[in-house]
Structure 1
Amino acid sequence: MKCSLFPASLFCIFLCSNTVFAQPVLETGGQKMPDEWTDKDTHHKVVRLTRNGGSNMSFYFHNNPFVGNKMVYYSSNANAAKTDQKLESYDAALSRNKQLWLLDLDSKKMEQLTFQASPMNGEIVNNKSGDVYYQIKDSVWCVNALTKTNRLVYVFPKNFQAGITTVNADNTLLAGVWNEDKEKELFKEHPNKSDYFNVIYEARLPRTLFTVNIKTGELKKIFTDSAWLNHVQFSSTDPSLLMFCHEGPWHKVDRIWTININTKEKRLMHKRTMNMEIAGHEWFEPDGKRIWFDLQQPRSTKFFVAGTDVKTGDEKKYELTRDEWSIHYNISPDEKFFCGDGGNDTQVAKAKDGMWIYFFKPEGDHFASTRLVNMKHHNYHLEPNVHFSPDGKWIIFRANFEGIENVYAAEIAEHK
């Protein structure tokens, strides 16, 4: 039997179709980008995940945004903000109409989860139940990403106005930190971080760690200190282990601590060993066994990502170059790889070529790095705050290189 030749007309259609639908190779940013493209400098695929217009923001690096293969994020309708004449500024308008949304990472389908009229805060997701917690003034709310039901969880008493920041592993407790009115006034008087960072640290006003029982509404005060308590995070696996930091100029503080909320036992996770050493931007790995953090020995000289075993205190660290240093790091779901969001030359590393989204592979005592996205058109006033996707194949981050904030994903595998 004769084999028929591939028809020339079909070959032409096949060739033309591949030409039409080929992945565009483009410089990232400085222009309106298509939904998907290949970064011309790194040869890695980049996808805009948020396509509903307005300003879209993914979560802070240590706040888990995922429920299965769906991602919770904030979206503000820019057009509504621009036409709102009652507010003082465009930024205020964006804050006012900011709502929680849900994105299916496979289909890119987006759903609005909240329809609140007042400004809200909170990036708190329990990935097992799908509960998403947020706060409006003195009231804590919960919307479920799976059922879409919305309910009031707790209202703070007038004599204890505070904010929640985390939920524990078994979804029974919320936690946060209370600060007194005098400290709130200091923040209002010194709105810029460059101003308030030392002011709040030097004030040494009392702060209190607390928990709220989600079912009963019971408020418990866990620990009070004159240190600036901040970055409160529950362990990813141990419902009774809470991490917090002593905030302030990093070279002046032994920053990273844990407390058992039942026994009240406190432990320092990293003790500084030299003048001007800094450690911070800490987070729990997925199995809860280690706390990882940015370590510099000393500041702006030698750069590491370090991790401390929460039970034994055993510490390991991986060295990076100055240009590879990142504002925030994160670890893959299988705990084999890391990522970073880079930084510009105004950051602590003073990097000359550090504006990249990075993928890191541990090799011995250091990281081997791969650049995924050129961020030269991104204004680092907005920190990208990297996350691995649940399948570990993408790095998700936020950026403004198109002129407005959106959430993007960079493929780890090089795009052919």
Structure 2
Amino acid sequence: MKTKAWWGALAAALVLGALPAPAALAALAAEPAGWTDTTTGRRIVRVDDSPGNYGLYFNYNPFTPQGDLMIYLTAEGVRVADTRTWQTRSVLKGSVDRLLFAGPKSRNAYYTLRDKAVEEGGPFSVWSVDIDSGKTRKIADLPGGRVMAINADETLLAGVWETAPPPAHIAAQGKRDPVTGSPHYAGTGPDGKPLSFAAAKGKWMAERLAARVPMEMYSVAIATGERKSIHRATDWLNHLKFSPTDPTLLMFCHEGPWHEVDRIWTIRIDGTQLTKIHTRTMAGEIAGHEFWGRDGKTVWYDLQSPRGGVTWLTGRNLSTGEQWRYEVARDQASYHFMQSPDGQMFSGDGGNAGKWISLLKPVQREKPVPGLITPGRLESIRVADLGKHDYTLEPNQHFTPDGKWLVFRSNLEGRPAIYAVELSGVRH
């Protein structure tokens, strides 16, 4: 006997004009567990807690263009979750190196395969899989590094690779745990005692930056697999992200300790118009965790002036030059922020000073004046209690395209799992 959720999935597919194969519908998992958060009063659903579950990084899109499905990874391969019922099904079985993102135009998921004998950072191939049919297609064989971005019209991928290997002791750090998906960092201090996770990561990042490893940023044509060089440097290139509306505009960062780098940059895919987005005006000032606003013209980022001092969620419109700075209270500080689909709210995934998944409403303190930064503050609406979460695992929250849920990853129950918290009733 078919469940109500099964018929709901079928009806949704018919409305969207993208009917999954009968086998896919039959493979829908049982309805996931759900409960009401006793602190916030909001409904939470545990989407998947199977071994090796891995949700995408906060600025990688996991949703189909129609918003009906979310892709994620498990030890068994690629799966999707229905964003209405949170039932899940398998799309692709097998060992996947990295699940990248969902296509902005097609119902494809992009992923990479790497031979188990090849070290992380070495040669790999990039593929796509049709989420409904399961049909796969090889796009290209690549010399190394990582693919990180897909452009707005789904014609290009972009990635980086190290054209010469880093020192062995640096290459050995930062690798992702295959079970938890968290990176590993370890080291000892001047006193010979083991460093904390954060201190070991900071030490490694400083050493990696100082190594001045030569790198190349490249594009890959999805239709043909042709690879072209965009930019070469001995700066540490990372965090590539295309504008969601401009298919030729790419944002990236100079990685490393934030107080030592000019971090946020944009560039055109032909290598022209290399532009620094934020210029430091105070010693020790740091900026990072950059992401595109929904308009595809505004770059948002976390700014501290100086590091450990006043924290701002800062935006800069690249077309008009307008800038905003919303002060972030200590208990609002987050590993990552993200903008809601309608552009009216932000989300934060919290930190040790405030363990919450939150909605953050921007409030301007002054009337905007041309040529000046508009100051403001953030009002918090807490939606999920992460009091038991260990932040060595980043929650990496995502708004569903309809704005009705925030999806995040947490170990709040003692093991990594993917969750969704309902946002109904929130007023802008």
TM-score tier, shorter chain, comes to 0.7 to 0.9
Equivalent in the alignment of 2:265? 257
CA-to-partner distance for each residue in 1:81-118, whole Å, 9 max, x for gaps? xxxxxxxxxxxxxxxx4x211110113231212222x4
Q: 8 Å contact 2:148–2:241 — kept in the other structure?
A: yes
Residue of structure 2 aligned with 1:107, choices 85, 91, 96: 85
1:194 aligns with 2:202: yes
Q: Distance in 2 between matches of 1:184 and 1:288?
A: 37
In structure 1, runs of 5+ residues without a counterpart are: 1-33, 77-96, 345-350
User: Which residue of the partner structure matches residue 363 of structure 1?
Assistant: 363
Rounded to whole Å, the distance in 2 between the matches of 1:333 and 1:288 is 12
Equivalent of residue 165 in structure 2, options 179, 182, 194: 182
Alignment of structure 1 residues 77-226 onto 2, 5 Å: 97=76, 99-116=77-94, 118-137=95-114, 138-156=124-142, 160-183=143-166, 185-191=168-174, 192=185, 193-226=201-234
Q: Which has the higher contact order (CA 8 A, sep 6+)?
A: 1
Structure 2 gap segments, 5+ residues each: 1-31, 115-123, 175-184, 186-200, 365-375
Return structure 1 stretches of 4+ with deviation > 6 angstroms.
Answer: none
Corresponding residue number in structure 2 for 1:237: 245
- On the 8 A contact 2:230/2:271 being kept in 1, the answer is no
How many pairs does the alignment contain? 348
Moved more, 161-170 or 247-256: 161-170
User: How far is 1:311 from its partner?
Assistant: 2.6
| Segment drifting more, 39-48 vs 405-414 | 405-414
Structure 1 residues 45-83: Cα deviation after superposition (integer angstroms, max 9, x where no partner): 2121226x334222110001001221001122xxxxxxx
CA shift in 2, pair 1:378/1:204, >3 Å: same
Conservation of the 8 A alpha-carbon contact between 2:56 and 2:101? no
Aligned to 2:69: 70
Once the two structures are aligned, what percentage of the paired residues are identical?
Answer: 41
Aligned partners of 2:85, 2:385: CA distance in 1, in Å? Answer: 26
What does residue 398 of structure 1 align with?
409
Residue aligned with 2:209, SS = helix
| Structure 1 length-normalised TM | 0.80
The offset of 1:251, in angstroms, is 1.0
Q: What whole-Å deviation, never above 9, does each CA across 1:273-326 have from its counterpart, x for those lacking one? A: 101111111111222011111111111111111111123433212111111110
How has the CA–CA distance of structure 1 residues 187 and 111 changed in structure 2, closer, same or farther, with 3 Å as cutoff? farther
Hey, what's the Cα distance between the residues in 2 that align with 1:414 and 1:287?
25
**Residue 389 (1) aligns with residue 392 (2):** no
Query: Which entry has the higher C-alpha Rg, 1 or 2?
Result: 1
Q: What is the aligned-residue RMSD (CA, Å)?
A: 1.8
Partner of 1:332: 340
Residue 410 of structure 1: SS of its match in structure 2?
A: strand
Cα deviation code 1:371-411 (max 9, x no counterpart) = 11111111111110111111112211111111221111122
Distance across 1 between alignment mates of 2:99 and 2:314: 27
